[in-house]
């Protein structure tokens, strides 16, 4: 709530500044408004997906769409408010909710080509909450439009900004979803691995994207938008580095937590009961951070 309050205050400050700028030419339909600054309030529905160490396609893993599992696409939605100056620049505060997941079992049909990624047998699911402040740039409106000219209804745009997001990777075990971060599946927080700190479930990301907006009427806008979130963590899926010695868990956990840690840090025995865990064997690739992205359609009310 504190972050949302700060963003609201910032948006109001920007809008107050913009309203002091006098209009030099016509911005829209005289019947409804004729101001350099307008506001837009709306919502969106769409889908969300992610790129992590889990799942993918044949081989050792490729970049972006070449390693994307479309079948893992999940629903997403948002609410937003924008302050728009001369149609050309908009400052938008937006709260987005979505789901991401990934699983090595999608590699079953190509397992001979995946160098053990299928046999790794890991999976995750996480709910995402994202609170962003982004700037939209609409190049078509950098040109002045006078009263005798018609303002374009269609406007492609670019966007970028900063966001605060929360996530919490979980894995399904015996019909229950178990939180993975507290289990230190790669020894995070253990004294034996001083370079592996506990990753935070609340972090910043950097959204970048593009969209196209269409003015349905003087009161409503419709837009379609793609946003890619650049993350500073490789633990969206709880997978990043190597396997650890499972005997270490008894030094830190007891009871059910110990049982879950032993079962979920290395799930290869579920496919091959004869499998012997390989200490320091490759579990993930720390060279590339994870990412998530969304495609949404938006309806905005102009006032």
Nearest to 219 by CA among 83, 86, 70, 40: 40
- C-alpha 254/C-alpha 7 separation (Å) is 43
Per-residue pLDDT of the chain (303 residues; tens, 9 = 90+): 444 454 454 444 444 444 443 344 455 555 444 678 999 999 999 999 999 999 887 666 666 666 788 899 999 999 999 999 988 999 999 999 999 999 999 999 998 988 889 999 999 999 999 999 999 999 999 987 777 778 889 999 999 999 999 999 999 999 999 999 999 999 999 999 999 999 999 999 999 999 999 999 989 999 999 999 999 999 999 999 999 999 999 999 999 999 999 999 999 999 999 888 789 999 999 998 999 999 999 999 998
Residue 8 host element (H or E): helix 2-19
- C-alpha 43/C-alpha 220 separation (Å) is 12
Q: Which two tokens stand for residue 195?
A: 């370079």
Q: What is the pLDDT of residue 22?
A: 38
Q: What is the pLDDT of residue 65?
A: 65
Enter the pTM of the model.
0.87
* Domains of the chain as residue ranges with CATH: 2-302 (2.40.160.20)
Residues in the chain: 303
Place of tokens 């229950």: 176
Which residues, in sequence order, are bridge partners of residue 178? 171
Which residues, in sequence order, are bridge partners of residue 242? 282
Burial of 217: CB neighbours in 10 Å, binned 0-12, 13-18, 19+? exposed
CA 92 remoteness from chain centre: 17
CB 37 within 8 A of CB 83: yes
Maximum distance among all Cα pairs of the chain, rounded to whole angstroms: 79
Distances from the Cα of 226 to the Cαs of 154, 174, 288, in angstroms?
A: 17, 36, 21
Q: What is the pLDDT of residue 34?
A: 60
Which residues, in sequence order, are bridge partners of residue 291? 51, 230
């Amino acid at each position: 709530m504190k972050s949302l309050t700060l963003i609201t205050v910032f948006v109001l400050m920007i809008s107050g500044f913009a309203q002091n700028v006098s209009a030099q030419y016509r911005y829209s339909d005289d019947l409804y408004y004729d101001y350099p600054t307008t506001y837009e309030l709306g919502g969106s529905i769409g889908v969300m997906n992610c790129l992590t160490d889990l799942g993918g396609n044949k081989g050792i893993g490729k970049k972006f769409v070449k390693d994307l599992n479309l079948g893992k696409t999940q629903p997403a939605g948002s609410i937003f408010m924008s302050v728009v100056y001369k149609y050309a620049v908009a400052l938008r505060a937006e709260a987005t909710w979505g789901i991401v997941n990934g699983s090595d079992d999608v590699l079953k049909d190509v397992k001979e080509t995946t160098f053990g990624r299928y046999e790794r047998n890991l999976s995750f699911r996480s709910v995402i909450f994202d609170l962003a402040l982004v700037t939209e740039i609409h190049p078509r409106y950098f040109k002045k439009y006078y009263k005798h000219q018609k303002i374009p209804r269609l406007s492609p745009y670019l966007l970028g900004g900063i966001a605060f997001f929360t996530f919490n990777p979980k894995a399904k075990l015996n019909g229950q979803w178990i939180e993975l971060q507290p289990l230190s599946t790669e020894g995070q927080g253990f004294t034996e691995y001083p370079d592996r700190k506990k990753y935070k479930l609340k972090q910043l990301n950097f959204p970048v994207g593009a969209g196209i907006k269409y003015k349905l009427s003087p009161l409503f806008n419709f837009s379609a938008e793609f946003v890619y979130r650049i993350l500073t963590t490789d633990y969206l899926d709880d997978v990043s580095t190597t396997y650890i010695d499972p005997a270490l868990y008894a030094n830190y956990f007891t009871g059910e937590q110990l049982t879950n840690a032993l079962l979920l840090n290395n799930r290869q025995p579920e496919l091959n009961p004869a499998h012997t865990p390989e200490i320091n064997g490759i579990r993930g690739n720390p060279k590339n951070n994870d990412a998530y992205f969304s495609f949404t359609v938006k309806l905005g009310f102009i006032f």
